[in-house]
A and B are shown apart, each in its own frame.
Chain A
């Protein structure tokens, strides 16, 4: 390519892309908080619930992990209005990503609680705690330390999945970049900035996750 990069244009669109990055971050952080709340609760049921409850939650986890995120986003997008839930794009996106995120969070919490070993729960039960007390007062506080690194990883996955929300016209980073390409017919400049913004956000989180992992291992 003989023509260099149009750096002036790149600077001009930067504020727009930064605002879109902020939307991406907002959506992702909200999603992770909500999926922790629901995922934590459901994983308690997954561990302690009756046979039917466990089977239902198992089915839900298989669904979220076995169906492409894009299809799940479309399902939420078209299904919510059928139940008379009318949300704007931003919140539809949060709900869709939370739906997927809950499935993964259940598995993370369950795996970490089960990795604690039977001694902990046997001892707590023998001391007369109820199963729910055992889970919430003994097992979960210990598991929390180990849950943090995979949870940061999950945030990375959510940020990457949030790019898919562009198909339901949520104004996040990928959507805004796409629009810029079609308005100005400038391709490479926009794509470079788009890529770098994702790499900065995701890269710093991957670094954080590794740091947490090293700390919790020590």
Chain B
């Protein structure tokens, strides 16, 4: 078991890379759209589009979404290698969940904050940027770190489209050496350590960096 550890490290790197890149891209797209979604009027057609997108992402398994992109990209004339198909698929998936994170965080701030700052003479733009968002962003941190562990776990599914991440790398070794259970145990340890450190780091950010006296109970967004 010890001797194969170095051979798993490149796979582990790909797993971290793919999840981190997807999280960053999806945060740019998803949180932004989620904040917009929270501020648009109920009749706005943009709401319909975003809601349909979120429904699709939450209503289908990740493996199906990965297959759809993997098979659809060539039909549309796009030649991408699996690595990038994987990143696009995870980004597409995660952005859907992050729209909900952004929307929920903004809506949890409460209309009173909005009304109060408007009546103090702040413009709509100032209210959003100076009053609502600074508070909302803090509430996004916990669900976002949760999303990071979801992404790490989802990245294992990219093995089915031959992305050489941790699970695929371990599979390749075990089908050559027939040591299935040993390699699966190793993988489990790798993933556990990775995900536990992400969530410990998240808790540290929550408790020491962002502790603004808002009250611990109030902070548990999940």
Interface residues of A (CB under 8 A from B): 1, 62-63, 66-72, 74-75, 78-79, 82, 159-164, 166-167, 174, 178, 181, 187-188, 191, 194-195, 198-199, 202-203, 206
Contact = CB atoms under 8 A, between A and B. Distances in A.
Contact of A70 (B56, B68, B156): B156
Nearest to B196: A66
B196 A62 contact: yes
Contact of A195 (B60, B149, B181, B185): B60
Interface string B46-61: 0000000001101111
A75 B181 contact: yes
Contact of A71 (B61, B63, B64, B167): B167
B214 to A, nearest CB: 20
Contacts of A66: 149, 191-192, 195-196
Contact of A163 (B55, B61, B149, B191): B61
B14 interface: no
A190 to B, nearest CB: 9
- For the residues of B in contact with A, the DSSP-based class is helix
A78 B67 contact: no
Given A75-B181, A78-B180, A199 B56 contact: yes
Given A187-B71, A191-B71, A160 B153 contact: no
Contact of A174 (B64, B188, B195): B64
Given A66-B192, A68-B167, A71-B187, A163 B72 contact: no
Interface of B: 55-56, 58-64, 67-68, 71-72, 75, 149, 152-157, 159-160, 167, 180-181, 184-185, 187-188, 191-192, 195-196
- For the residues of A in contact with B, the DSSP-based class is helix
Nearest to B192: A66
B196 A195 contact: no
Contacts of B75: 1, 187-188
A202 B60 contact: yes
A63 B191 CA distance: 10
A70 B157 contact: yes
Contacts of A72: 188
By CB atoms of chain B within 10 A, which of A66, A162, A164, A188 has the most?
A66
A159 B60 CA distance: 9
